[in-house]
Homo-oligomer: A and B are copies of this chain.
Amino acid sequence: MSKQAERDRLVDLRRELHRHPEPAWREFYTTARIVEELERIGVDDLYVGPDAIAEDERMAVPDDDELEAWYEQAREEGADEEILQQLAGGYTGAVAVVEQGENPEDGPTVGLRVDIDGLLREESTDDDHEPVAEGFRSEHEGAMHACGHDAHATIGLGVIEAVKNSDFEGTLKVFFQPGEEMIAGGKSMAESDHLADVDYLLAAHVGLDHPTGEVVAGMDGFLAVSHFRAEFEGVPAHAGGRPNEGENAVQAMATAVQNLYAIARHEDGATRVNAGKVGGGTATNIVPEEAFVEGEVRGETTELKDYMKERAERVLESAAEMHGCEVEITTNGEAPSAESDDALVAIVGDVADESEGVEEVIERGELGGSEDATYLMRAVQRNGGKAAYVGVGTDHPGGHHTATFDVDEETLPIGIDVLAGAIAEIAAERP
């Protein structure tokens, strides 16, 4: 296939995924299309749905009605029925394995992680928003690929094809991960068996305020984070007639909020806490029976996040007890901190320097947010392997997560080149 034809195919695929953004554990259409592509390309092993992850480690799984609605939508949009059935119950995502070269077992196992989910936000309808102008705006009202994961999935597939055409010798595993936006999927993928033999792992993200042509060889500065939802359950009562018979869930929640923000700062570095969304009660004259807090804690390191999490739980539980309520605390998403290894960063930097379309290579960058690729990075590092998180610049008109976000499609071949090149070089150097 000509280079242009190749590029067109990537663009078509990316646009198809862009038209079908799906949030965490609802990536039915997306996973089905990825699997179809993988079957077309031909891989040595393919793990889909429950086989791709540690089933018990999914976080923030929506309820059955919600899952069913998105599943049906994917079916109506023409997703492959047989593949879909493997995803039933919200088991989205896939792991593809390619064994390459004469003696793949002599080479290392290199992993690439790309995330595939969209966001629950409306996409712009402005005529100068490229997806509008070019007719590939989201067809799912209220959902949008506003962070470039459509490009990530496309690049993941492109890398497989490129590696198959390269002189890479070893095993390549590509992790198509669901639920990154809610930091809900990384853990389940990291705790599957598929990471166990990975010697080197790359993860990649487009954009991040870097323009097309820039590559950041190693991203760091991931804040460890944990999202929680606490549900308080008390006892309702008529507020005028029998106030003493109530056990007030809103008082419990308010006490918790006051004390969550008041968790002591830590000598070892930055911490964060937020009660981002709260609610409770039903009517003016009823002592509130129910209340909730959805919040998060963060830390510059995983230890700092754990410190905050432990203190937050103590606050939530004591506040419930103080007001005669039960509280149920759910972790809705979580990611540790992580760092890119120098050795891989060096290789990525060197390869990028030589890659077509790359004009500037930045050695190290700071993400300054959270990302659950860190789960996979740490799993590999814990086994003695190495990992790096690569930034692939792309001109993006709107900021990440905004209605006018879009990626420059020139980034697709650049990303594929740099990552496939780095994978080959890693196998060659085994740093």
Chain A residues within 8 Å of B, Cβ to Cβ: 223, 225, 227, 239-246, 248, 250-251, 253-255, 257-259, 261-262, 264-268, 270-288, 291, 294-296, 298, 307, 314-315, 317-319, 321-324, 332-333, 368-370
A286 CB contact (under 8 Å) in B259, B276, B314, B317? B276
Residue of B nearest to A321 (CB): B318
A246 to B276, CA, bound (A): 12
A253 CB contact (under 8 Å) in B242, B254, B321, B332? B254
Contact A285 B275 (CB under 8 A): no
Write out the residue numbers on chain B whose beta carbons fall within 8 Å of the beta carbon of A370. 240
Contact B369 A241 (CB under 8 A): yes
CB proximity of A188 to chain B, nearest CB, Å: 19
Write out the residue numbers on chain B whose beta carbons fall within 8 Å of the beta carbon of A318. 318-319, 321-322
Contact A322 B324 (CB under 8 A): no
Listed by A's residue number, 16 A-B pairs whose Cβ atoms lie within 8 Å are A239-B272, A240-B298, A240-B369, A241-B267, A241-B368, A242-B267, A251-B257, A251-B261, A258-B258, A258-B259, A261-B262, A274-B287, A275-B288, A276-B286, A276-B287, A278-B288
A315 to B247, CA, bound (A): 13
CB proximity of A260 to chain B, nearest CB, Å: 8
Residue of B nearest to A322 (CB): B318
Write out the residue numbers on chain B whose beta carbons fall within 8 Å of the beta carbon of A266. 243-244
Write out the residue numbers on chain B whose beta carbons fall within 8 Å of the beta carbon of A243. 264-267, 272, 274
Determine how many copies of this chain the complex contains. Answer: 4
CB proximity of A81 to chain B, nearest CB, Å: 35
18 other A-B residue contacts (CB within 8 Å) besides A258-B262, A262-B262, A276-B285 = A227-B284, A239-B274, A240-B274, A240-B370, A243-B272, A243-B274, A244-B266, A244-B267, A248-B264, A251-B257, A254-B257, A265-B272, A276-B283, A276-B287, A277-B284, A314-B322, A315-B322, A318-B322
CB proximity of A142 to chain B, nearest CB, Å: 14
A208 to B369, CA, bound (A): 37
CB proximity of A295 to chain B, nearest CB, Å: 6
CB proximity of A379 to chain B, nearest CB, Å: 23
Write out the residue numbers on chain B whose beta carbons fall within 8 Å of the beta carbon of A321. 314, 317-318, 321
CB proximity of A307 to chain B, nearest CB, Å: 6
A295 to B287, CA, bound (A): 10
Write out the residue numbers on chain B whose beta carbons fall within 8 Å of the beta carbon of A280. 277-279
Which has the most chain B C-beta neighbours within 10 Å: A262, A281, A287? A262
Which has the most chain B C-beta neighbours within 10 Å: A267, A276, A284? A284
Residue of B nearest to A283 (CB): B276
Write out the residue numbers on chain B whose beta carbons fall within 8 Å of the beta carbon of A261. 248, 251, 261-262, 264
Contact A265 B271 (CB under 8 A): yes
Those 3 A-B pairs whose CB atoms lie nearest each other, nearest first: A318-B322, A261-B262, A239-B274
Contact A284 B295 (CB under 8 A): yes
Write out the residue numbers on chain B whose beta carbons fall within 8 Å of the beta carbon of A307. 244
Residue of B nearest to A287 (CB): B274
Contact B277 A282 (CB under 8 A): yes
A262 to B273, CA, bound (A): 10
Contact A294 B284 (CB under 8 A): yes
CB proximity of A20 to chain B, nearest CB, Å: 23
A267 to B251, CA, bound (A): 19
Write out the residue numbers on chain B whose beta carbons fall within 8 Å of the beta carbon of A262. 251, 258-259, 261-262
Contact B279 A279 (CB under 8 A): yes
Which has the most chain B C-beta neighbours within 10 Å: A241, A281, A294, A296? A281
